[in-house]
Structure 1
Amino acid sequence: MVFFNFSKITIYLFLGLFFIPKLSFSQSNAYNADKFHFGGSLALSLGSDFSNIAVAPSIIYDVNKYFSAGLGVQGSYVNWKNNFESYIYGASLIGLANPIDEIQFSAELEQLRFNTTYENNYKSSFWNTALFFGAGYRTNNVTIGVRYNVLFDQKKGIYNEPFMPFIRVYF
C-alpha cells in the first residue's frame, strides 16, 4: 500500500535533517535550536555468509515539555550469501509524549521500500507501511522500551513479529 511518493519525500526529509537546524533566525523569532534533538541508529552485522548495514538518522522538535514530533529516514543493505540481497529505504513520522520524566509513549508511521533479488534472479519490490505504538522507560536522553506494529500482517509485511524492542537516544 503506497500513501505517498516516498522517493522524493525521503530526499527532502534527508536534506531537511541536515539543513533545518542551520537556518538563522532573528532574536524576535520563536525559533530555539535547543528544542531540536538528533538521534538515530547505526547497525553493522557481518558474518561469513551474512551482512547487514543500516543507517537511520532522525530529528525531533520539542513542542513543549511533554510532546515532541519529528522525522526520520533510513537505509540499509542486507545480503545473505546464496539466498538474497536487499536494499531498503524509507521515511518515518515520529511523535513522542512524556507525561512524566521517566515514561515515554511513542507513535511512529513508517514507510519502507524493499528491493530484493533472490539467488535465482527473482526480484521483489514493494512498499511496507508500519504504524508503531510504544512505551518506554526514559532517563536523560535515553529511552528503553517496546513498540507494537498495529498494521502487522504475517503474510504481507517484512517484520516477523509485531513487537519490537528499542533503545532510543537523542542528543
Structure 2
Amino acid sequence: MKKNYFLNDCKSFLVILTVFLSNFMFAQRNSLPPPVENQFWKNVQFGGGLGLGFGSGYTDISIAPSAIYNFNEYAALGLGAQYKYLKQKDFYASNLYGGSIIGLLNPIRAIQISAELEQLRVNVNLEGSNSNSQDYWNTALFIGAGYRSGSATIGARYNVLDDKNSIYGSAFMPFVRVYF
C-alpha cells in the first residue's frame, strides 16, 4: 500500500516539475531580443531638383536626383546625378550629364555648410553656317552656405574652379536643397 502512495507522489512531483520547466522554457523564448533592423536606410535621405525654363526660342530642362547618408545630426555625405538639356533656337542644342559628391555640415540646426564636387560631360551642337560639335568635361567645386529649416535649405554657393570656359554664367549661384 505504501508503494502506491510513493508512486502517486512521484508521478505528481514529475507532472509539477514538467509543467514548471515547460513554463520556464516558454518564458525564456518569449524574452528573446527583437530582430535587429538595418540602421543604414534609416539614415538615408533622398532629394534633388527639377528645372524647367522656356523663353523666346529657348528651352532649359534639368533633373538632378541625389541621396545623402546622415552620419549624425551634424554631418552627411551623398551622391547625385544630373541631366540637363539646353536649346537656343538657330544657335545651339546641348546635353549635359554627370554626377557629383556632396558633403554637408550643420554646425547648428539652422545653418548648413556644403562642399560639392561636380563632373559633367558637355555635348554641344552648334547650328548655323559654322556648325560643329563640341564634347568636353566640365569640373566644378562648389562651396556654399545656407539657412536650413526642416528638410529644406536655401542659400548660395560659389564655384572655386570657375574660369572663362565654365558652363555656368557666374561662379556665384543661389540654391534650394530639399531632402526627405
TM-score of Structure 1 vs Structure 2, range by shorter chain: 0.7 to 0.9
Match of 1:167 in 2: 176
Match of 1:112 in 2: 120
Distance 2:102 2:37 in 1: 25
TM-score, scaled relative to structure 2: 0.77
Distance 1:92 1:160 in 2: 19
Pick from 28, 45, 57: which aligns with 1:49? Answer: 57
Match of 1:38 in 2: 46
| Count of aligned pairs | 145
Q: Percent identity?
A: 51
For 1:86-128, what per-residue CA distance to the aligned partner results, in whole angstroms no more than 9, with x for missing partners?
0100100000000100000000000001100011321111100
Match of 1:20 in 2: none
For 1:150-171, what per-residue CA distance to the aligned partner results, in whole angstroms no more than 9, with x for missing partners?
11112x2111211110010001
For 1:34, what is the secondary structure of its paired residue? helix
| Alignment pair present for 1:62 and 2:70 | yes
Give the unaligned 5+ runs of structure 2: 1-34
Counterpart residue identity of residue 98, structure 2: G
Match of 2:20 in 1: none
Cα shift at 1:32: 3.4
Which of the two has higher C-alpha Rg?
Answer: 2
For 2:161, what is the secondary structure of its paired residue? coil
Match of 2:149 in 1: 139
TM-score, scaled relative to structure 1: 0.81
For 1:9-57, what per-residue CA distance to the aligned partner results, in whole angstroms no more than 9, with x for missing partners?
xxxxxxxxxxxxxxxxxx5465332211111011111234011111100
Distance 1:160 1:80 in 2: 15
Give the unaligned 5+ runs of structure 1: 1-26
Match of 2:158 in 1: 148
Cα shift at 1:62: 0.2
Pick from 71, 86, 98: which aligns with 2:79? Answer: 71
